[in-house]
Structure 1
Amino acid sequence: MDKERERAAAAIARAQLELEEALAELDVMPALDSRAVALATHMLNNYLTVTEGTVELIQKHLAAYGDQQVTTWLEGLQHVTDLMHRTVSQLVMNTPSATEPALRFEKVEVSLMVQRVCQYHQREANKKGILVVHNASSSVPPVRADRVILAAVLNNLLANAVKYSPPGTRVEVRVQDANGWVRCDVQDQGAALSQDQAKLFQEDVLGSGLAMAQQLIEQMGGKISYANVSGQGSCFSVLVPQYKTE
């Protein structure tokens, strides 16, 4: 419990610092500058990280308090924070730029990120009787990535998996060490995609989402791929470089 609190407190402190830096940069940029939009998404994401971490700490602190009304309030705050994280992800995926975004690389605990994304999409999955499963070992190392962009890509893949899966099926998200990389698989039990794999990431095949996801992941030095899983549906895989201390 103490380690979880320390981790949450450290995440809040990092996000607060990054939020202040982003605000300082944003103040000197033109309102319609494409980098200003990117900074705004980072700023909002860091604000949400502060809120999310604070709610988690309060929930742990008041676990034995027993006031159901307070619990309901905190769960509501956590829910709307998740919704705003989703909004930020959609903004990243739906705002293509003629120039590559300025990435903000940092140490990211992708297992924790995936767990939170899965918790959000389970709410939508419940409407179709779909079970979203998060599978990651405790030894998965952190990655070096832009936290906002990575969250946006994973959110997009999981949203599609839930959207296109038949009712009563299962979506599994696996996170594992992959020899210098961290691999994240999003696998559903729906019908396998019939398009040629080389064409899946073109904008005119399945919309701009996969094309944008590929572009963003490659800009972080990662890879994204698709495979049909015999008798088990579709699987999208994302590879991100592990974080290494200089």
Structure 2
Amino acid sequence: MGALLEALTEAALIAEGGRITGANKAARALLGKSIEGATLDQVIAHPAALEALNRAGSDDQSVELTGLGKSRRHWLMRVAPLEGSTRLIRFVDRSEARAAEQMRVDFVANASHELRTPLATLIGYTETLREQSDEVDPATRDRFLSVVHDEALRMQRVVEDLISLSRIEAEKFTTPTDAVALEPLIDRALESERRTAQKRGSELVRDVAERLPPVAGDSGQILQLLDNLLSNALRYGEPGTPVTVSARTDGSMVRLSVSDCGDGIAPEHIARVTERFYRVDTSRSRSLGGTGLGLSIVKHIVERHRGRLSIDSIVGKGTTIHVLLPIAVS
């Protein structure tokens, strides 16, 4: 029985009556080194768990637990009867499943909020135009229509980004293998952002090493990655300051970097800025037209390409986002 317990990857106990007669290494790490011989209520100080263990019955039982031992993780306690009053008690770590479920709930809530806000504006302005059309002067009507148009475009950007993110996630297990030349994609991305840069008085600086090797990738997604990084840098960089795109070989990878001179990102936010809809400054991001999905899309593209994403930022000076992509095998 001891060998069987140690073969289990999850924490497991053997209890006879109300006393622990065996425990594996994972159980001792979770509940304490000296638990064999102790009573269940001494070791498992969790009301719901003890209630299930004290409940009479010969069927398998399972209970969701939080705060077991000194751990803040989520557990599923499974109790299976053996011979007589002997029971096998297993603790399955459900923390990742809970976290994934919470992410799904948060995603739905955030997506609903991002669409509800412009919808409310659209409904309000169109109702005014419809119900008070005779009272609205031409200048006010034009201003209302401009707001309606901008909010509709905002909704369109959110929906397009959601569709894009869903498509990238669906393809994440398929590694792209095409040999993709980066220089033409960098030039296309720079050209597409040139008008925005001119409006903000920002110079787009191109710093690409000579004889840059092709990367193994999907050209459409890499272009999307560059577009998102450049538009973010222009959106959050200070007007009149440069945005730099650099590319050079870094071992067996190519390092793409996009730098801005903006407010920067505080260290406590860096780990979360690639989450869907996460914003460091909610009001400022929305006023600048961001959907909150740009860096999440970048992250998923990098993961699909088996690359690496890192962020260097100094508050008050600016941010540099680095993307490492594998060089194509010739």
TM-score bracket relative to the smaller structure: 0.5 to 0.7
The residue aligned with 1:97 is 166
Structure 2 vs 1, CA of residues 92 and 113 (structure 1 numbering), >3 Å: closer, same or farther?
A: farther
- C-alpha displacement at 1:100, in angstroms? 2.0
Instruction: Write the distance in 2 (CA, Å) between the matches of 1:186 and 1:146.
Output: 19
- C-alpha displacement at 1:96, in angstroms? 2.7
Residue 169 (1) aligns with residue 241 (2) = yes
Give the AA of the match of 2:249: D
Q: TM-score, normalised by structure 1?
A: 0.58
Length, aligned pairs only = 158
In structure 1, the gaps of 5 or more residues are 1-86
Give the AA of the match of 1:110: L
Is the Cα contact below 8 Å between 1:227 and 1:235 reproduced in 2? Answer: yes
Instruction: Write the distance in 2 (CA, Å) between the matches of 1:242 and 1:100.
Output: 23
Residue-by-residue CA offset, 1:192-222 (whole Å, 9 max, x unaligned): 1125221111114132221221112111111
Instruction: Write the distance in 1 (CA, Å) between the matches of 2:263 and 2:218.
Output: 32
Give the AA of the match of 1:200: V
In structure 2, the gaps of 5 or more residues are 1-155, 280-291
Q: TM-score, normalised by structure 2?
A: 0.44
Give the AA of the match of 2:165: P
Residue-by-residue CA offset, 1:95-143 (whole Å, 9 max, x unaligned): 3328522565311111221122112212110001000111112121110
Give the AA of the match of 1:96: L
The residue aligned with 2:196 is 124
Give the AA of the match of 2:308: K
Residue 196 (1) aligns with residue 281 (2) = no
The residue aligned with 2:227 is 155
Q: Which has the higher helix share?
A: 1
Is the Cα contact below 8 Å between 2:176 and 2:305 reproduced in 1? Answer: no
Q: Which has the higher strand share?
A: 2
Residue 133 (1) aligns with residue 205 (2) = yes
The residue aligned with 1:228 is 313
Instruction: Write the distance in 2 (CA, Å) between the matches of 1:110 and 1:209.
Output: 20
The residue aligned with 1:205 is 278
Structure 2 vs 1, CA of residues 213 and 93 (structure 1 numbering), >3 Å: closer, same or farther?
A: farther
Residue 240 (1) aligns with residue 325 (2) = yes
CA radius of gyration, larger in:
2
Instruction: Write the distance in 2 (CA, Å) between the matches of 1:133 and 1:186.
Output: 10
Q: Partner of 1:141: helix, strand, or coil?
A: coil
Is the Cα contact below 8 Å between 1:93 and 1:153 reproduced in 2? Answer: no
Is the Cα contact below 8 Å between 1:93 and 1:212 reproduced in 2? Answer: no
Give the AA of the match of 1:199: R
Instruction: Write the distance in 1 (CA, Å) between the matches of 2:198 and 2:162.
Output: 24
Pairwise mapping of residues 64-75 of structure 1 onto structure 2 (< 5 A)?
A: none
Q: Partner of 2:193: helix, strand, or coil?
A: helix
Identity among equivalent positions (%) equals 26
Instruction: Write the distance in 2 (CA, Å) between the matches of 1:92 and 1:204.
Output: 11
Residue 111 (1) aligns with residue 196 (2) = no
Q: Partner of 1:96: helix, strand, or coil?
A: helix
Structure 2 vs 1, CA of residues 230 and 139 (structure 1 numbering), >3 Å: closer, same or farther?
A: farther
Q: Partner of 2:195: helix, strand, or coil?
A: helix
- C-alpha displacement at 1:173, in angstroms? 0.4
Structure 2 vs 1, CA of residues 134 and 166 (structure 1 numbering), >3 Å: closer, same or farther?
A: same
Instruction: Write the distance in 2 (CA, Å) between the matches of 1:136 and 1:95.
Output: 28
Q: Partner of 1:166: helix, strand, or coil?
A: coil
